[in-house]
Amino acid sequence: MVSAGAAIGESCAELTAQSITPDQIDNCRPLPAGAAHLSRALAALPPKGELTRFNQAERAKLESLNEFVRRIGRDGAWVIKVVDAPQAAIGLFERAVVIVTGPAFHRLSSLELQAVIAHEFGHEYVWREFEAARLANNHRRLQELELVCDRVAVVLLERFQIDTRHLRSALQRIEEYNLERFVPAANTPNYPSLQMRTDLINRWSRPRRR
Ligand SMILES: [Zn+2]
């Protein structure tokens, strides 16, 4: 059961990756799910599997991610958990817990992880639409919604002056890590191809002097 987010206005119900504007990122911004919701989400996590022993560099990395959560206004609403799992993956559980697997945490840079967290923030905008598409097994719609999340991430990263190449490289490194070690995941058809995602992220990004 996924609880509904904040009421989303009419103008926000049909966000598309191509048309979303920085104004909509603000106007359609979902309210945080809240502290009680976070407590329930935390209680629903498996009792074991969280990684909690970090060296100094890892603690600094984790702190940079917590700082990013504050910057997007999710302090008190989101908690980051690094968990023991074989695949590299990052996901948002119940609009409250950012799950980062050990391989993702260790292999991605701090900025790459922040870029993916910006994408996860995009999921809050389309949470109900995503659940509906998932239940209907609508791969095409799920792919579209993933692109909306990428678009939200691009707008946020540029606002924070974080180069969007970190999002492209994060997606690439996650995919490469998993493909080298595992058969493609069962939910692969729910995602646009890496090529499509990186091309669009490029197109949406402001040109930069390199
Ligand atoms: Zn996503």
| DSSP secondary structure of 57-115 | HHHHHHHHHHHHHHHTT-BTTBEEEEE--SS--EEEETTTEEEEEHHHHHHS-HHHHHH
Average pLDDT over residues 76-100: 97
- pLDDT value, residue 183: 86
Distance in Å, CA 91 to ligand 1 centroid: 7
What's the whole-model pTM score?
0.92
CA-CA-CA-CA dihedral for 123, 125, 126, 128, to nearest 10 = 100
**How confident is the model at residue 187, as a pLDDT?**
85
Cα(208) to centroid(ligand 1), Å:
25
At 48 the pLDDT is 92
Report how far ligand 1's centroid is from the alpha carbon of 122 (Å).
Answer: 8
- Rounded to the nearest angstrom, the distance between the alpha carbon of 52 and the centre of ligand 1 is 25
The CA 119 to ligand 1 mean position distance, Å, reads: 6
With a CB cutoff of 8 Å and minimum separation 6, the contacts of 20 are 148, 151, 152, 155
Q: Which residues surround ligand 1, an ion (CB under 5 A)?
A: 146, 149
Residue 8 pLDDT > 70: no
What's the pLDDT score for residue 24?
84
CA of 120 to the centre of ligand 1 (A): 6
What's the 149 CA to ligand 1 centre distance in angstroms? 6
Percent of the chain at pLDDT exceeding 90: 78
The mean of the pLDDT values for the chain is 91
Distance 142 CA to ligand 1 centre (A): 9
Each residue's pLDDT tens digit, 15-29: 788 878 888 888 889
Residue with tokens 């908690």: 79
- C-alpha of residue 36 to centroid of ligand 1, in Å: 24
pLDDT at 11: 61
Instruction: List all residues 6 or more positions away from 32 whose beta carbon is below 8 Å from its beta carbon.
Output: 73, 74, 76, 77, 78
